[in-house]
Structure 1
């Protein structure tokens, strides 16, 4: 074949020698043999070049696919909802979008997000998107709040678990009893077992109270009572963990984290102003662990918690009768020696900070002295009586 190819391509340049050879063959009686071989050689050369070219194209296509990001083209079609969970990284978001066939590849979304400086504003939640979108279009769609399914609910600071169940039920239409049932096992909802250890020798009562962190939550579609409470517990653990709440109260306050959480709830309930959260916490510590005659709290808010827990209406201090104020049978009695069994509400971050790092002071008493909720604090009962007189003059009590 090499000879044939050589003849086919070199013959015009051979001069006389080439013509002599051609004439010699012709003399052998093989008319037209040289021309036929030339045609065959040309045909085979073209086939060979085609094969080489086809292989090269196939290889190039494979290499190109390796380096080029698989991506859909355009804004997609149809409609689908995708949930982006709390704490999701770009890779986690990409996985959720690929699974829903919103984007073609994880790489397509990540590259588009990294190219868009606003992508850091993509929030957890549920989004209404289209199928088979380009990575860039998916990022743009998730930054448009019109595509986010908003089912938000704000839990105010200082609400009891009983009140929170009602708020959640009104928003989600999930029965209150479902939340009550889910709350019976706080550890199943994510509260670590070590949170229920106390240093004061009191019996441990495992309650969800205190762990349902007040915040605004996006309630995902098809949520259950259990999944919602888990969401709130996880938020509490994140916030308290960032604060190093447990470590600091043990090292600096010399009390268990659970006892400090109870103090935070007391401060949240008693302080009429955020400026006083730390001071109220200090009073609680001083009364229970300091030089206070009964080492009891003597706070009306604990009475109200017991009323609510037993299905009775809560009251103002002025409305409470002597039997309620002096009741010693209640586990939340004002006269109970030591710290009460559980938190009495779900405190916010500032109340936690107040219990973790209260200002120094020997205060044992306090009373609201203005209509903005500010309190005056006293070390002695005589000083407290003078502050109460000021409060009366201001029309507060």
Structure 2
């Protein structure tokens, strides 16, 4: 009984071990199959990523515009369409770049700045309104802006010494309107925009300079920009607000009387000394103010009758300064008023042929200088 039991037990153990071994073998096969499947899947995914990544890299080379994720630093040009871009007075290359990027003329500020710096003529780009294509290459944009034909806005240049009436005519011409419309606009601007010290008179406050006229600008806009320019200039020279009208009056006389720039400070000295009474009557005695009061140019003959005309601008008969400026003075004349020469000069006479002025401290010296000028003129005849 014992031997049979043991034999059966051994057989049972062997059977269990075989079954266990079989299960383990099958489990290993299943595990191997799973590993094979996972490896295959990983290989397929890796191959897909490789192919996809390669296409991402190659596609922009075949068609750069097809991938929106690629940063465009400069357009290839030549561009298309049309857009107006305003370049303000005093704009740097960087300021221009900003305006052009906002209008989509160039792709990036960097592209334009590089093209601007690479072109030795770029500093010659003028302020104004430009008609340009969109999506131009930066190099083409610089070249186009150097061409005066691309400027669509009008420009007004006010020379030193021009009177308000001349400036009104120039504005009317540029805006293609009647002078009467500019005069009406001037009345409104004088009432609402001029500093109180000007007394409502535009004369002298329309700064001599060059201005950009944009297509939408009105006469009021242009006049205000001229007044603003005067204010900015006086601010930069630190002229007190209460002194500005007198400074402009004196500077306008210097502008009208002086031909040579190096004589401005001496004429400014004569004005100060005459106002202080060096001539004994406190009168300036300036022909330029007499002519202004008569509405004639200084070049017209001042007969004795005209010299004695009773106008508020006749500084031969009225002491002190005239009631207002007689033209638009330039900055050099204003600077001369603020920093006149030193000395006792009280008179001067100008040679209209040579532009030279002869200065004197006394009336006798002045009369001698006048004789010299007359002799020169008679000799030329």
- Is the shorter-chain TM-score for this pair beyond 0.5, marking a shared fold? yes
Indicate the residue corresponding to 1:85 in structure 2.
Answer: 88
CA offsets, 1:266-312, max 9 Å, x none? 1111224434322222222111234333312222322222232xxx7
**Whole-angstrom distance in 2 between the partners of 1:263 and 1:331:** 16
Q: Displacement of 1:345 after TM fit?
A: 0.3
Indicate the residue corresponding to 1:154 in structure 2.
Answer: 157
Written as runs of structure 1 = structure 2, the 5 A alignment for 1:116-195 is 119-149=122-152, 151-184=154-187, 185-186=189-190, 193=195
CA offsets, 1:32-77, max 9 Å, x none? x96697356513552377469969999xx9xx98994554332212
Change (3 A) 1:317 1:273: farther
Indicate the residue corresponding to 2:14 in structure 1.
Answer: none
Indicate the residue corresponding to 1:289 in structure 2.
Answer: 276
Change (3 A) 1:88 1:314: closer
Change (3 A) 1:372 1:126: same
Indicate the residue corresponding to 2:288 in structure 1.
Answer: 301
CA offsets, 1:134-189, max 9 Å, x none? 33432343244453447444332211101111123233323223332333335865
**Whole-angstrom distance in 1 between the partners of 2:253 and 2:190:** 21
Indicate the residue corresponding to 1:355 in structure 2.
Answer: 337
Structure 2 segments unaligned to the other structure (5+ residues): 1-20, 61-66
Task: Indicate the SS of the match to 2:279.
Answer: coil
Indicate the residue corresponding to 2:239 in structure 1.
Answer: 246
The structure 1 residue matched to 2:364, chosen from 367, 370, 382, is: 382
Query: TM-score normalized by structure 1?
Result: 0.71
Q: Is the aligned partner of 1:365 residue 2:347?
A: yes
Query: Retained in 2: the 8 A contact 1:174–1:224?
Result: no
Task: Indicate the SS of the match to 1:321.
Answer: helix
Change (3 A) 1:51 1:186: farther
**Whole-angstrom distance in 1 between the partners of 2:297 and 2:255:** 20
C-alpha RMSD over aligned residues: 4.1
Task: Indicate the SS of the match to 2:203.
Answer: coil
Q: Is the aligned partner of 1:391 residue 2:373?
A: yes
Indicate the residue corresponding to 1:269 in structure 2.
Answer: 256
CA offsets, 1:183-220, max 9 Å, x none? 3335865x6x4xx55xxxxxx62322222222344433
Indicate the residue corresponding to 1:215 in structure 2.
Answer: 209
**Whole-angstrom distance in 2 between the partners of 1:178 and 1:353:** 34
**Whole-angstrom distance in 1 between the partners of 2:261 and 2:347:** 17
**Whole-angstrom distance in 1 between the partners of 2:42 and 2:55:** 20
Larger radius of gyration: 2
Q: Is the aligned partner of 1:227 residue 2:221?
A: yes
Indicate the residue corresponding to 2:300 in structure 1.
Answer: 316
Change (3 A) 1:115 1:321: same
Query: Retained in 1: the 8 A contact 2:204–2:325?
Result: yes
Indicate the residue corresponding to 1:331 in structure 2.
Answer: 312
Q: Please identify, of 232-241 and 205-214, the stretch whose mean Cα deviation from structure 2 is larger.
A: 232-241
Indicate the residue corresponding to 1:259 in structure 2.
Answer: 246
Indicate the residue corresponding to 1:25 in structure 2.
Answer: 26
**Whole-angstrom distance in 2 between the partners of 1:315 and 1:130:** 49
**Whole-angstrom distance in 2 between the partners of 1:147 and 1:359:** 46
Indicate the residue corresponding to 1:72 in structure 2.
Answer: 75
